[in-house]
Amino acid sequence: MIILSVNAGSSSLKFTGFEMPSEDVLISGVFERIGIDNSFYTIKVNGEKIKKEVELPNHKVAFEILIKELMDNKIVESLDEIKGVGHRIVQGGAYFDKTVIADEDAVSKIDELASLAPLHNHAAIVGINAAKEVMPNAVQTVVFDTAFHQTMAPCEYMYAVPYAWYKEYGIRKYGAHGTSHKYVSQRMNEILGRNDTKLITCHIGNGASISAVKDGKCVATSMGLTPNAGLIMGSRCGDMDATVGMTPKEMDIVLNKQSGLLGISGVSSDSRDIEEGIKNGNERCILAQEMYVKRIVEYIAKYYVLLGGCDAIVFTAGVGENSISTRKEILNKLAVLGIKVDEEANNVRGEERKITTDDSAVPAYIIPTNEELMIAKDTYSL
């Protein structure tokens, strides 16, 4: 059967079409500048990438064009062949610990939680409503970035602030990138051939988080109430003192958009630019990388102790999959745990493989993430 994985933004719509259960990708792409002048979309089908300029007044029109492309490319002959549509939702709060049907109750709760992800949850609802209108017979599901982390214990997700904040306003750690952590931890268990594992999964991209996963369930994660917690990221500061003297608006702009690698280096939020700066002897780029790696190592070490050992460390996402030097630096700083890098194996980008020696006390792997496939698998299961 055909399943669509979609991610609706306020002016965009990313999509991937899968044949399930074979998991073959049939089509993928993105509609951009929806509701804005000069809108367009790109699709990739049969190995060919095509860009088309078209008027996109709203998400419904984007879905209608997507259906036409599916038919024109003979992926489907009728609308009824699309059996399910899985929608990525950033914030599911404490309501959702798994993927569910996008019924009226679920959509109402997503709307209620919009204050925790104002840019994302409202846009997702627009996408859900548009998809229901265009594909009324398909099963619509909602897949939450926060769901995988709902297995954390209260001592892990609570903040040491007045308890009333939690009861009245839902102030607690929710985490993010849950769909990615779920996917790579499941894949790691497949590689190890068992589910009774202790894993540390490192989703390291422009946004980044690390999770401790025991027996397939998340027991801790580095992101918090918002994505601006835990690791140093491209432009986010990560963990820091809460008493910095700024207004809420200044805090939002500076700590989310002007901090992290960008703020320290003064060069870029992109890890590749930092690496280039290091080659050129830029001292602030060197400092930024040192701080960046140090924070990652600290979280891995902390989760190693929390789990009481570790069966595997997983690197995924943009930096985790592609930065040879960053992976090497992280693992070398973990040598005290008996971890040994296989430099030849590590000399790769975006490829699934083990990157530690056979006598390493803890194996480390690269596993490219596939959140779209995870959405499709959850939707297919429902």
Q: Which is nearest to 326 in space by CA: 260, 267, 278?
A: 278
Mean pLDDT calculated for residue range 136-162: 95
pLDDT of 119 above 80: no
Q: Please tell me whether residue 285 adopts helix, strand or coil conformation.
A: helix
* Residues 174-224: tens digit of each pLDDT: 999 999 999 999 999 999 999 999 999 999 998 999 999 999 999 999 999
Confirm if 363 and 355 have CB atoms less than 8 A apart: no
- Assign 11 a pLDDT band (cuts: 50, 70, 90): confident
Name the strand (E) or helix (H) holding 37.
Answer: none
* Average pLDDT for 85-96: 93
Average pLDDT over residues 11-25: 94
**Catalytic residues, which ones?**
145
H-state helical runs in 25-170:
59-72, 104-112, 121-134, 154-157, 163-169
The answer on pLDDT for 242 being more than 80 is no
Residue 14 is given by DSSP the state E
Q: Higher pLDDT residue, 375 or 114?
A: 375
Question: Taking Cα atoms as reference points, which of 379, 368, 255, 247 lies closest to residue 317?
Answer: 368
| Edge-first strand listing for the sheet containing 312-316 | 217-221, 208-214, 198-204, 312-316, 364-366, 353-354
6: exposed, middle or buried (C-beta count within 10 Å: 0-12, 13-18, 19+)?
Answer: buried
pLDDT band at 362 (very low <50, low <70, confident <90, very high): very high
pLDDT at position 227 is 84
Average pLDDT rounded to a whole number, residues 308-324: 96
